[in-house]
Each structure stands twice: as C-alpha cells, then as structure tokens.
C-alpha cells in the first residue's frame, strides 16, 4: 500500500496530518520532510491522525518522537490520535500512546477522542 500524508491547517488549532498506508523505513523520510516543512513554516502543534495507518515500525516511532522533540523545542507538540489494531499496540507497548496520545485529558484536546 502506498504511504501518503495529507494535512489541513486549522485557524487557531493544530495542523492535522492524516497518514495512510505503512510507515516504515521506506516512507519515514516522507513524513520527516512534511514535519520539517511545517516546522519551518512556523507550525508548532501537529495532530497526527493514524486512523488509516495500517503499519508502523520502529522507524515510524522515531519520526513521531523526533517530530514531538522538534515541536517542543519551539514550545509546541506533536500528538497522535485514531490508532487501531497493530499500530495502536505498537504505540501502547512503546509507551507513546500515553506520551503522545491526544485525548480529553490533554489540555490541547478540543474535539477528538483519544486512542481506545
């Protein structure tokens, strides 16, 4: 399955990225490039929708951590939402579901439930 990243900028809210396909060593540079481009444009809050992400390996996890670290250095954050199945399991096993989860208990949360 082809990996794609789309994003929508929200007035006053986080920039929402939607990932589709498999995030792995081959596709991670594409997501890194998008995050770098958004950071250079001044975006500091990124909400990554994983609803349609079917696979994520350690390289993908590293992209999320790198993105959050980069955003945090500028006073922002990267959060993930919508993970299911194997992707959700990887995030929970690594502890990133708790660290990068986007839910009602997150002060930045506005209209999306957290990961189930």
Quick: pLDDT tens for 2-44: 999 998 877 778 999 999 999 999 999 999 999 999 999 999 9
Q: Is residue 89 part of a domain?
A: yes
Number of domains in the chain: 1
What is the pTM (predicted TM-score) of this model? 0.85
Q: How far, in Å, CA of 84 to CA of 77, rounded?
A: 22
Give the residue ranges of DSSP H helices in the chain.
28-40, 58-73, 85-94, 96-100
Q: Is residue 109 part of a domain?
A: no
Instruction: List the domain range (segments joined by +) for residue 44.
Output: 4-100
Weakest mean pLDDT among 9-13, 14-18, 51-55, 101-105: 101-105
Spatial contact of 24 and 41, defined as CB atoms under 8 Å apart: no
Which CATH number characterizes residue 49's domain? 3.30.750.24
Q: Is residue 38 part of a domain?
A: yes
Spatial contact of 35 and 63, defined as CB atoms under 8 Å apart: yes
Structure tokens at 105: 């208990």
Q: How far, in Å, CA of 108 to CA of 103, rounded?
A: 8
């Amino acid at each position: 399955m082809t990996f794609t990243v789309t994003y929508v900028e929200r007035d006053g809210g986080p920039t929402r990225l939607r990932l589709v396909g498999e995030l792995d060593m081959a596709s991670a540079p594409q997501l890194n490039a998008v995050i770098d481009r958004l950071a250079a444009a001044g975006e500091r809050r990124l909400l990554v929708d994983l609803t349609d992400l079917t696979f994520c390996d350690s390289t993908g996890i590293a992209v999320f951590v790198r993105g959050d670290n980069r955003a945090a250095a500028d006073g922002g954050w990267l959060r993930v939402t919508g993970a299911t199945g194997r992707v959700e399991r990887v995030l929970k096993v690594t502890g990133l579901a708790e660290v990068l989860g986007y839910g009602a208990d997150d002060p930045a949360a506005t209209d999306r439930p957290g990961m189930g």
